[in-house]
Amino acid sequence: MFIKQLSRPEKETRLRQRAGVIWLFGLSGAGKTTLGDALEHHLVEAGLTTMRLDGDQLRLGLNQGLGFSDTDRAEALRRAAETAKLSVAAGFVTICSFITPQRAHRELVRKIIGPADLIDVYIEASYAVCAGRDGKGLYKQAARGELPQFTGKDSIFEPPLSRTGCFIINTEREAVDVSAARLRDLVLPILRQLT
């Protein structure tokens, strides 16, 4: 007996949504995870089915054993993008939070996921502000030399070349709830347009 695999459009129809990826990138401590979690709550309240992928989460499993060299970072992001692509094929709106430090990394993500399914959001905050937040103590460890190749200190972070091509949420200038609401207001109409 032959049973045809469900197509992505069939899955999207059943879920009553258009799948896509919201890729939040920026320095550690910029607010990617916090805003990703808030966005997921907003989207679920709006009736969408979501999936969350986060750098810390994936390092515990899928990306376990990868370090912070440029090669390992590229591989970790390739795996994350491939996972997000599978999630989109299942019909989910997928919210990803990854530092994604280099433009080449972001181009790799775009190539894997496809520009039609990707919404890039740069969560902008300076190294000094992120170091001041330091919720995980990483900046203190980096200052003591305990975290080699720490992004923004020993390893480069390349902001977007222009203000076009991705959205920018600056978490230095506004409170978290304001940033979360702004992110929701940017993303939800795009997702609604796609349906």
Q: What is the CATH number of domain 23-194?
A: 3.40.50.300
pTM (predicted TM-score): 0.93
> What are the pLDDT digits (tens) for 23-45?
999 999 999 999 999 999 999 99
> What are the pLDDT digits (tens) for 107-125?
999 999 999 999 999 999 9
Answer whether 119's CB lies under 8 Å from 75's CB. no
- Rounded Cα distance between 11 and 16, Å, is 8
Give the mean pLDDT of 166-170.
92
Residue 195 has pLDDT above 50, yes or no: no
